[in-house]
Chains A and B, each alone.
Chain A
Amino acid sequence: MLIWTITIVAICICIALILNLWRLIQGPTISDRILALDTMYINTIALILLYGMYIGSGLYFEAALLIAMLGFVSTAALCKYLLRGDIIE
């Protein structure tokens, strides 16, 4: 059952990722694209956790944690660029 659920959820996430990609490519505004990327980070976190569950390993937790931490920084930096141009001022 678990494997099946994981598969179903994985498919959900795959669709979600494709939708994110679609938005990223489609735009229309740059803010949309950043948002899409940010969402993609979140979906990726789920994907990694799911994979860890699938193979029954806890080794990938830190990767998920890092995406959570660093994805935010990169979103913030991108937005700051759009707002101010200079991100470190």
Chain B
Amino acid sequence: MEGMYAFCVGLLTACGVFLTLRGRSFSVVVGLTLLSYAVNLFLFASGRLKLDAAAVLGQSKSIGDPLPQALVLTAIVIGFAMTAFAVILAMRARADLGNDHVDGQIPQPRHGINQKTGGAK
């Protein structure tokens, strides 16, 4: 199970990173959200995985590590606040700058490259 879990964390991280590296604010926000999922899962896993071990006294057979859970909770809330801010900021940037590129301007395709690919075709 741990292997699958780790694979998922890695995959989510990779997806998040890839999207964060895109040029449009929406993609970036989605990427950051994916990344924060991965982060939360990772942080949670630092307390090791346990089945049927909810950290509630008298409710389960054993008790998992409650501390990472509390940390993840804090991280989720903070992540939510940050994502919310980023989303609205993306809107604001779009409103102020007229486009949704993270750099505030749509990059002009470089002529040299165009010519090159054009030549190749």
Contacts and interface: CB of A to CB of B under 8 A. Distances in A.
Interface of A: 55, 57-59
B3 to A, nearest CB: 19
A57 B54 CA distance: 10
Contacts of B56: 59
Contacts of B52: 55, 57
A51 B51 CA distance: 11
Q: Does more than half of chain A's interface fall in helix, strand or loop, or is it mixed? A: loop
Contacts of A59: 54, 56, 59-60
Contacts, number: 12
A59 B54 CA distance: 8
Interface of B: 51-52, 54, 56, 59-60
Nearest to A58: B59
Contacts of B54: 57, 59
Contacts of B59: 57-59
Contacts of A55: 51-52, 60
12 contacts: A55-B51, A55-B52, A55-B60, A57-B52, A57-B54, A57-B59, A57-B60, A58-B59, A59-B54, A59-B56, A59-B59, A59-B60
